[in-house]
Amino acid sequence: MARKVGSHAGTTGPRVRAAALRLFAREGYAAVSMRAIAAEVGVQAGALYLYTPDKQTLLFDLMREHLEEVRAAWAAVRPDPAPPAERLAAFARFHVNHHIDRPEAVFIAYMELRALTPENFARIEALRRAYEGELEAILREGACSGAFRLPDARLAARALIAMLTGVTTWYRAGGPMSRAEVAEAYAALALRAVGAPA
Amino acid sequence: MARKVGSHAGTTGPRVRAAALRLFAREGYAAVSMRAIAAEVGVQAGALYLYTPDKQTLLFDLMREHLEEVRAAWAAVRPDPAPPAERLAAFARFHVNHHIDRPEAVFIAYMELRALTPENFARIEALRRAYEGELEAILREGACSGAFRLPDARLAARALIAMLTGVTTWYRAGGPMSRAEVAEAYAALALRAVGAPA
DNA sequence: AAGGTATCTGAACGCCCGTTCAGTTCAAGC
DNA sequence: GCTTGAACTGAACGGGCGTTCAGATACCTT
């Protein structure tokens, strides 16, 4: 046997990445073999190397695409000239809504950093810092203008990011609360945490 | 060669667990071999099996000990008859202070759940729920008494736990802030988040 | 219909894995 | 000082790992 019926790089490529995303999130990068990914796609292990140069790059690309997507999505909805409280509320709602639909990518991007080579780690960290810097800038500005009352902008940014991202560890669609309700609840917590009651 | 000079189960046992804790946290359970742990201890791989029946139990015991220690430590300092705001502040300070000194154990206990067998996972989850239930109870009580204003006690408990635990991802001793200052800053964020200004 | 190319198989490479165990050496109780 | 058992070695087991590649088959262009 060789080439499969209906095979096409345009479909197999995305299926490889989807399988890797799902398995990496569920079992962890190190615990997932290329053979397991291939089996999920319905292909032999060797065929994966038509779509990625190696396993490390497969992980790196998944992370990079996730972080670039987050940045682009935020840039598209970010209210730019707006008071700090409104910008913070928008960020919190956006962050929760965006992450709640991508628990697997979020999990990988935060937990498999240690599996990256030093070079790849540095590039991913730069992307993350750029995104998280958006929140820190909002907080810093609000602290300066007196709109927020907070201990330390950097600490508060880290604390709020952790809080907001944590939604992915428990939320599952079909529960008692809708995505929008959850996002609103988190936004209210974030606003009050910095002394800007909603 | 066989038995080492100065060898003693009372010293090697803890060194095995310490090495496993450090390596599991840094590389991940699946990525760490028994040979790597043995090398860190200065011993051959076979010798590890004098101290653990297998690799899985080694991980499970590390998690269980960590969670039982957290519960016991909180039980020892918990202010029991006290107003909700005071109890929340105590919990936040305790949680940050306790976790900030054990980043490796925290990381493992939250991230290697997927590496546990279903049986072991259930036991660890029960311990975690018991601890996090303490915070939820405080929030629920405060919401009932009107001391707190929050969207949903369970959601808020999860959000605050995620926020507080997040301190382990960035805090390193020797930075500009002391442990106590960090704990106080997080406690202030937590109090304000539930509408109980510090 | 034919040729070329994209896609995949199946076997193989060297290496590392968790775990076991017979054998060896050290420490401690008498 | 001898004996006994605790502590450890070193080799081995079967199996899985990431990756490569020659060969086979399906699709696409002409």
| A175 in reach of chain B (CB within 8 A) | no
**Cα atoms in the 13 Å half-sphere on the side-chain side of A86:** 7
10 Å CB burial of residue A113 (0-12, 13-18, 19+) is middle
| B197 in reach of chain A (CB within 8 A) | yes
pLDDT score at A197 = 77
Chain D bases near protein CB atoms (7 A cut-off): 5-12, 16-28
Instruction: List chain A residues with CB under 8 Å of B158.
Output: 166-167, 169-170
pLDDT in tens, chain A (198 residues): 588 887 787 899 999 999 999 999 999 999 999 999 999 999 999 999 999 999 999 999 999 999 999 999 999 999 989 999 999 999 999 999 999 999 999 999 999 999 999 999 999 999 999 999 999 999 999 999 999 999 999 999 999 999 999 999 999 999 999 999 999 999 999 999 999 976
pLDDT score at A198 = 65
Is the Cβ–Cβ distance between B67 and B109 less than 8 Å?
Answer: yes
Q: What are the φ/ψ torsions at residue B10 (nearest 5 degrees)?
A: -65, -20
pLDDT score at B153 = 96
Q: What are the φ/ψ torsions at residue B53 (nearest 5 degrees)?
A: -65, -30
Structure token pair of residue A45: 């292990």
Tell me the C-alpha distance between A74 and A160, whole Å.
16
Residues 92-111 of B with CB under 8 A from A: 111
* Topology given in CATH for the domain delimited by A54-193: Tetracycline Repressor; domain 2 (1.10.357)
* Topology given in CATH for the domain delimited by A1-52: Arc Repressor Mutant, subunit A (1.10.10)
Instruction: List chain B residues with CB under 8 Å of A152.
Output: 177, 185
Mean pLDDT within B138-156: 96
Confidence band, pLDDT 50/70/90 cuts, at residue B80: confident
Helices (H), A80-175: 84-100, 103-111, 118-145, 153-165
Residue B6 has pLDDT above 80, yes or no: no
Distance, in angstroms, between A104 CA and closest chain B CA? Answer: 13
Per-domain residue ranges of chain B:
1-52, 54-193
Structure token pair of residue A59: 């992980």
The radius of gyration computed from the CA coordinates of chain A, to the nearest angstrom, equals 20
Tell me the C-alpha distance between A100 and A87, whole Å.
20
Confidence band, pLDDT 50/70/90 cuts, at residue B5: confident
DSSP A54: S
pLDDT score at B145 = 96
Task: Please tell me which residue lies nearest to nucleotide D9, judged from CA to C1'.
Answer: B2
Task: Please tell me which residue lies nearest to nucleotide D24, judged from CA to C1'.
Answer: A2
Mean pLDDT within B162-182: 96
pLDDT score at A134 = 98
Q: What are the φ/ψ torsions at residue A52 (nearest 5 degrees)?
A: -150, 145
Number of continuous H segments (helices) and E segments (strands) in chain A: 8, 0
